[in-house]
Structure 1
Amino acid sequence: MQCHYYDAALCRSCTLLPTPYAEQVAGKERHCRTLLGDPAGLAWLPPVLSPEARFRNKAKMVVAGTVQQPTLGILDADGHGVDLRDCALHSPGLHAALPALARVVTGAALTPYDVPARRGELKHLLVTESPDGELMVRFVLRSTEAVARLRKHLPALRAALPRVRVVSVNVQPEHKAVLEGEREIVLTADETLPMRLDAVTLHLRPQSFFQTNTPVAAALYRQARDWVDAAAPSSVWDLYCGVGGFALHVAGPGRDVVGVEVSTEAVASAQLSASEAGLAGAAFVADEATAFALRTQPHEAPDLVVVNPPRRGIGPELAGWLEASRARHVVYSSCNAVTLARDLAAMPSLVPVQARVLDMFPQTSHYEVAVLLARHAVP
């Protein structure tokens, strides 16, 4: 993939850009195999590849510059804006939307936040595109001072971008490297962006997490569904369930599924999706995953547990609980193979039997890996 920003040394976020794509993927699989030790009996499925460009469904743009000439992109070493609205990673819908949103910044007189001077209002623009081409647009502001102006300009925004479904303001008043704050003000009647993946529609709220690569995320959910269906459990937990991606893909007749997620917004989204799909056997709980598990006796564990933790992994407490539990299988989806390897070492009776690298983040060293664990007696 060619990138004029990279060639001009304006952005070097894509650290593997000079490396041919096939070599990138091969290197990621080697890295993962090395970390996991490639134990006997572990079958590696072919890696899931991604488009090399236009795969990102989310743009996280730092806003800088001036009202009349805003930059949407990143900051340089001195805290000044570098405009990256032509980034080749963004989906076609995002690529088309960013110039229109820059005009909204000017029209609504949203003063970009000046990091060195610590003044201004608009810090970030966060834009997500659904598989159907609809958009969620979030303006991260330092205060609510400009909310009324944004409401006034909402018709103009929708005229320029008819596919916009959700618009919100996130309030992040602190001067620190934090993408967003806790308070969200939704400006549209619609509060969720439907994300249709195969036969499952997920509902994404402004502060909900969703994978940035839609085709690879769909492949990840299909892989988990295939493993779960082959194991045929009657009961499943989906820990760190987010908006319910794994839980809703594996739910079905004769199977009780419980999704656990600390975000109440994400749980509300998952419940809405389950209701629309008529999945009476799928329930969702707002709770911290480890705390939820530790309140359950190991002999009362479900047949199968799906875990999809953040980069820190599941940690020793949850790993110890799973090791002691009656769960026959675990599906572990990891975005950090280092912590995955640590967690697997703490669960010696849950043996990796299949694994698959999914290239969620082309042009970088990051990747997703899914592992199916089956319980074996430890000699």
Structure 2
Amino acid sequence: MDCSYYAAGRCRSCTLLEIGYPQQLVSKQAVARDAVGPTAWEEPFRSAEAGFRNKAKMVVAGTVEAPSLGILDGAGLGVDLVGCPLHEAPVAAALPVLRELVTRARLTPYSVPERRGELKHVLVTASPAGELMVRFVLRSTEALPRLRKHLPWLRERLPHAVVVSANLLPQHAALTEGREEVPLTENQLLTMRMNDVDLLLRPGGFFQTNSAVAAGLYRTAAAWVDDAAPGSVTDLYCGVGGFALHLARPGREVVGVETSAEAVDGARLAARRRGSTARFEVGDATAAGDLGADLVVVNPPRRGIGALAPRLEASAARLVLYSSCNPSTLARDLAAMPSLRPVRAQLFDMFPQNHHAEVLVLLERSGV
């Protein structure tokens, strides 16, 4: 992948950019093998080398007349990365328009060194169909009237921006967004169609960064689970229901558990629209009471499943499907579940040009 920002030394976020993509996969596969150990490994699921990110998290800096959307340098000043080649085409096309909106709507960029200003971040997510969710992270409500005034202009320039909202982050903190969301469009659901399953994403909800690879991850999970033919599935850390809705089948009981009530609401709506019998509950995945399903799915954040691992080890679950974005915590968690042995594994390269990758592992209880 060619990147003028990297070549000029303006951004070095892509730490593996100087390493050829085939060698990146070899290195990531080696790390994944060290974490999981010997098992039946499938070939890595490759990504496009550029244009794969379905979301942009852009720090806003500079001035009203000359705003930047990108990152901050060591002095806390803005580095404009509107032309970053990692983004999907709909996101890349939206960023120059959003930068122009900053000037048109007189949205004062937040200055980290001076701790003043209003607009902190612009967050953009694209669906596989090319629709957009656009979010403005503001310090206060002061700029909301100007945002609403210029919303018709924005939607004329970006007709596929079907979800627009403002997020309030008043404190000076190293956070991307705050807790309060102000809808600016009536619709606040972005449809992320994965394979034949419509997943519904709300502002602030989590979704995999690479749509094409995420679709492959869900297809593979469904195929492995169908081969194993469990009668019941519990999906922990279920989010908007990606795994649960892909695994649901007639005669198979599927329950998803997630701490975010908003994500659970979206998953329930998606299930109703699909006519799926999958059920979703709000709860702490690490403290889930019922681990008696034939198969338990875990898709935790980078910190892994921690205290849940010994509970799974002691449970009646015959199978565990673990989707991990951190080989270190994956290795730790597998060591805490010695009776659950890896029988299938595959690397899914969600993040070309850096060290991160997703690893899917199917575990089966020994002696069953």
Fold shared per TM-score above 0.5: yes
**For 1:357 and 1:249, how far apart are their aligned partners in 2?**
19
Q: Deviations over 1:56-109 (max 9, x none)?
A: 000000000011111000000001000000000001111111011111111111
Aligned residue in 2 for 1:238: 235
Aligned residue in 2 for 1:53: 50
Aligned residue in 1 for 2:286: 290
Q: 1:217 aligns with which of 195, 214, 217?
A: 214
Aligned residue in 1 for 2:297: 306
AA aligned to 2:81 is L
Q: C-alpha displacement at 1:242, in angstroms?
A: 0.6
Please say if residues 304 and 330 of structure 1, whose CA atoms lie closer than 8 Å, have aligned partners that are also in contact.
yes
2:364 is the counterpart of 1:374: yes
- Specify the SS of the correspondent of 2:198: strand
Identity %: 62
- Structure 1: where are the runs of 5+ without partners? none
Aligned residue in 2 for 1:202: 199
Q: Deviations over 1:201-222 (max 9, x none)?
A: 0000001000010000001101
- Specify the SS of the correspondent of 2:51: coil
2:76 is the counterpart of 1:79: yes
- Specify the SS of the correspondent of 1:138: strand
**For 1:346 and 1:34, how far apart are their aligned partners in 2?**
16
**For 1:35 and 1:266, how far apart are their aligned partners in 2?**
30
AA aligned to 1:18 is E
- Specify the SS of the correspondent of 2:322: strand
Correspondence 1:5-20 to 2 at 5 A = 5-20=5-20
Please say if residues 207 and 265 of structure 1, whose CA atoms lie closer than 8 Å, have aligned partners that are also in contact.
no
Q: C-alpha displacement at 1:231, in angstroms?
A: 1.1
Aligned residue in 2 for 1:160: 157
- Structure 2: where are the runs of 5+ without partners? none
Q: C-alpha displacement at 1:324, in angstroms?
A: 1.0
Q: 1:345 aligns with which of 335, 355, 361?
A: 335
Q: C-alpha displacement at 1:325, in angstroms?
A: 1.0
RMSD between superposed Cα atoms in Å: 0.9
TM-score w.r.t. the length of structure 2 is: 0.99
AA aligned to 2:353 is Q
**For 1:24 and 1:171, how far apart are their aligned partners in 2?**
38
Q: Deviations over 1:232-277 (max 9, x none)?
A: 1111010000100000000120011110010111111101110100
**For 1:110 and 1:272, how far apart are their aligned partners in 2?**
35
Figure out how many residues of one structure are paired with residues of the other and give that number: 368
Aligned residue in 2 for 1:357: 347
Q: 1:331 aligns with which of 314, 321, 330?
A: 321
Larger mean CA deviation between 142-151 and 352-361 belongs to 142-151
TM-score w.r.t. the length of structure 1 is: 0.96
